[in-house]
Amino acid sequence: MLKSLCLSLVLLAGAAPALAAPVDDAIALLDAGKYEEAAHQLQPLAESGDAIAQHRLAILYFYGHGVPEDENRALELARLSAEAGNVDAMYLVGNIYVFGHTVPNEADDPDLEAAKWFHEAASRDHAEAEYNLGLLFLAGKGVIRSQEEAMKWIRRAAEHGHDGARNFLGGEDGHAK
């Protein structure tokens, strides 16, 4: 019985890389700049609920690489991925609300939406989200203006290696007062 269980676990473990291969192949295509081919491979994976594929496809839709530019589709895919726990997708949702052209115009308060999603990602140690959340607190966009809260997030970003945050702090490593 124990041998059967061990064999089953080994077989399942061996199957895991095979299941990840389609996403890895699509990412390799993205890295090679073959956006249309990557989008073609990512689409069915995203539709089947693969959070990584949803996030990567959302990026393609946001920038119009390999697919027609479609911010609403990008937001839909990024949210699905974010709701599945993908921290990079949480950050992307925030970016869509800050840097998009159509989505921010359709939102009641795009800055508030951006702050919510940046906070979700920042709370999980995403350095870019920490930095952007800090900037939102500095400007009072989507949050109550607070230099203290801004510096907290910017210092965290610097501690996590964010160059912009380090530059903002004057080259400090994030441990300054």
CATH number (domain holding residue 147): 1.25.40.10
What pLDDT digit, counting tens, does each position of 47-89 carry? 999 999 999 999 999 999 999 999 999 999 999 999 999 999 9
Q: Please, what sign has the CA dihedral across residues 89, 93, 96, 99? A: negative
Q: Is residue 144 part of a domain?
A: yes
What pLDDT digit, counting tens, does each position of 130-174 carry? 999 999 999 999 999 999 999 999 999 999 999 999 999 996 554
CATH number (domain holding residue 48): 1.25.40
Average model confidence (pLDDT) across the chain:
88
Q: Is residue 14 part of a domain?
A: no
The domain in which residue 115 lies consists of: 108-172
pLDDT of residue 9 exceeding 50, the answer is no
Domain end residue (candidates: 84, 117, 137): 84
Q: DSSP letter string over 5-19?
A: HHHHHHHHHHHHHHH
pLDDT of residue 16 exceeding 80, the answer is no
Percent of the chain with pLDDT over 90: 83
Q: How far apart are CA 151 and CA 109, in angstroms?
A: 24
Domain count for the chain: 2
